[in-house]
Structure 1
C-alpha cells in the first residue's frame, strides 16, 4: 500500500491531523489513546506489544493523541509542563512500529462529547477499531464519565474488543511504575542518567538559534543561543549534550550540517557572573567553532548534568570554569554515555 492511495506503507507511520484525513478504506485497526508525554519505556512496552498483536491479527496499529494537552485547555492558567513537543512525540511513536497516529485538536467543544459520542465518532466510524487498548485508569467523554467498564459496554454494543493493559508491562525493574511524572522528577533534579533510563533515550530540547549578546564569542566560547520551543527545561546548570541541526531553514551555510551530531557543552539558566536575569539555553559546539547556524531549527539532547549555574566573580574565573566544563563534556561524551 502507498501513501498516494491514502493508506500506509509498512515502513513509516502516517500522521493524521484530523478525523477527515483518515482514509475511509482504513481497517480493521487496533487503537489506543493517550497523551503519551515523553513516550517513556512504559509507553513503548505497551505500544510495541500492541503493534505485534496487530501484525499477528492482520490489523493496523493506531495511536490517538491530543494537541494541545487537555489540561492546558481546561486550566489555561496552569498548563502542564510537557516533557516532549508534538514533533518529538510523533517521532518516538513511530519508532515503536505504529502504522498511524491521529492527532486530535483538543478543544472545549471536543470535551463536551459524551463517552458514547466519542467512541462512535472516533473509534468506530473514524478509525474502524476492531480492538481498543486502554489502561485501567482510562477516562473519556464529557466530565471524564467514561471508564474501562464503559468502554467494554460500548465494545459489546458496537462490535469491538477491549483489551486492558497489564500493569506488569508498565512497571520498571526497580518496581516503580513507568510514568511521565517520574521523568519530570528526574529532570527537575538534574538526574539525566536516570531520566535517560526511563525515557529510553536522552531528553531533548528543540528550538531556533537566535542572536545573543556575543559574550561567549569575546571570551573564546561562541555559543548557539536557543529559543526553546519544545521540551521540558530541566534543572538549571551545565550539561554535556549533543547539538543537531534539524532544519537549516533559509541558512545555506548550515545545510551541510543538517543531521550531524556535534559534541556540546550546554549552559542552561542565568549567567550570574555578568548579572544575567534572563533564562538562557546556550550550546558551545566543541569541534565546530566558527559555524553559522543562526535561524536554524536545532535539537539539544542532554546527556549528563555537571554543576549548577554559579557567580564566578569575574570573566577570568568564568573562562577558567568553562575550560573545565569543556574538558569534562568531551570526557563524558567520549566514554559511551551517548548510546541512546
Structure 2
C-alpha cells in the first residue's frame, strides 16, 4: 500500500480511482466492511482504491479542549487500513489553513486532480470544506461537474447482540439504555464508551480485535520487581485510548528493539501473555497514573527502551487500595492466575492484530 502525506508524493496521472474519506479512528468493523467492499468494487472496474484521512483529527484542531481521545495512533491506523486491501492512503496534515478550503477547492485539488477519482464513497452525513459547508448534496453536484459518481454507504449495525455485550450489572443496563446493541451502528464513539467503562471484551467485539495502546518502556518505581512481578512501564507518550483504571488480562507485544540498537527479540518472545495494570498505585499513595504490564512468569526480560503494545482481552478487577503490601501480593497472585486461565481459553494472541 502506498502511504502519501503530501500531494507531491502522488504520481502524476494517478488513477482512475475509487476514493473514500474519513478519520477511520480505530478502523473498527464498520470501517473495514465499507473499505473491503470498496476495494472489491475498485478491482472489478480496474481502478485504484484510495482512502483520504487526516492527522491530527479535525476535532483536535477546532476543539482541542473537548476533542475525544483517539482509539489508535497514526502508525496503527495506517497498518489497519493497509490490511483492508487499499492501494493507497493519502494522510493529510490537518490545520486551520487546510480547513479554510471551500468544498469545491478540496474536491477538485485532492480527489479529482491528484487522485483521478471516478467514484467517491461517502456516508450520508459526510461534511467537508470550510465550516463543514459541503454535504452529500454538494458532493453529488461536484461529481456531476467533475465527472465522478457518488456512492452512499449506509451505517452498518450489529445484526444481533454480541454475547459479550450482554450482562446484568448496572453498567450493562446503563449502556443498554443509552443504545440498544441490537440496533446500534459500529462506531468509534461506541468503542470509547466501552473503554471508559473498562469493558475491553465488548470493545474488541466492535473493533473486531483487542484494543491496544503502545509506547516506549521506561523505568518505573521498581516496586513490581521488589514484589516478584517485574513490570514494563509505558512512558508518558502513549498512542491509543487508555481504558479505565483497573487490572486486565492481555498481551504484551514487542514492536521494535530499543532506539539505541540491540538485537531483535526472539520470535518466541514477541507476544507474551500479561497482566496489565492501569492506575495510580493507591496502596503506595501514588498520584500519577501508570500503565504497566507483567509478562506472566517472566522475570528475565529487559524491555527498557523498546516500543511495545499492550492488547486488552478481559477486565479482571478495578484498582483497589490494600491495607498492607502482603494483601496486595496475594491479590496480584490471584490476578496472574486468572489472567493465565483467561488467555489460555482465548486460544492465543491474534496473529494479525
Same fold by TM-score, threshold 0.5 exceeded? yes
Give the aligned partner of residue 157 of structure 2.
Answer: 171
Counterparts of 1:106-117 in structure 2 under 5 Å? 106-117=94-105
Partners of 2:303 and 2:279 in 1: CA distance: 21
Give the aligned partner of residue 220 of structure 1.
Answer: 228
Alignment check: 8 A CA contact 1:242 1:262 kept: yes
1:311 is matched with which residue: 321, 329, 338? 321
SS state at 1:256 partner: coil
Give the aligned partner of residue 271 of structure 1.
Answer: 281
| 1:141 matches 2:126 | no
| 1:40 matches 2:48 | no
Between 23-32 and 60-69, report the one with greater CA deviation: 23-32
Partners of 1:19 and 1:54 in 2: CA distance: 21
1:81 is matched with which residue: 55, 69, 80? 69
Alignment check: 8 A CA contact 2:213 2:240 kept: yes
Cα distance change on mapping 1:172 and 1:338 into 2, 3 Å: farther
Give the aligned partner of residue 67 of structure 1.
Answer: 55
Cα distance change on mapping 1:319 and 1:253 into 2, 3 Å: farther
Alignment check: 8 A CA contact 2:251 2:310 kept: yes
| 1:239 matches 2:248 | yes
Cα distance change on mapping 1:179 and 1:111 into 2, 3 Å: same
- 5+ long unaligned stretches in structure 1: 1-12
Cα distance change on mapping 1:48 and 1:328 into 2, 3 Å: same
Give the aligned partner of residue 330 of structure 1.
Answer: 340
Counterparts of 1:229-308 in structure 2 under 5 Å? 229-250=238-259, 255-257=264-266, 260-308=270-318
- 5+ long unaligned stretches in structure 2: 160-181
- How far did residue 327 of structure 1 move? 0.4
Tell me the TM-score normalized by structure 2. 0.90
SS state at 2:294 partner: strand
1:156 is matched with which residue: 124, 144, 151? 144
Alignment check: 8 A CA contact 1:239 1:303 kept: yes
Alignment check: 8 A CA contact 1:28 1:129 kept: yes
Cα distance change on mapping 1:256 and 1:297 into 2, 3 Å: same
Instruction: Provide Cα deviations, 1:151-210, integer angstroms capped at 9, x if missing partner.
Output: 01000101111101133xx11112211111111111111111111110000001010100
Instruction: Provide Cα deviations, 1:23-74, integer angstroms capped at 9, x if missing partner.
Output: 1132100000000011111101100100000110101000000000001111
1:51 is matched with which residue: 22, 39, 58? 39
2:215 is matched with which residue: 207, 220, 231? 207
Alignment check: 8 A CA contact 1:303 1:337 kept: no
Partners of 2:19 and 2:297 in 1: CA distance: 45
SS state at 1:234 partner: coil
Runs of 4+ in 1 over 6 A off after TM superposition: none
Alignment check: 8 A CA contact 2:253 2:271 kept: yes
Partners of 2:119 and 2:294 in 1: CA distance: 49
| 1:182 matches 2:190 | yes
- How far did residue 20 of structure 1 move? 1.2
Partners of 1:166 and 1:216 in 2: CA distance: 49
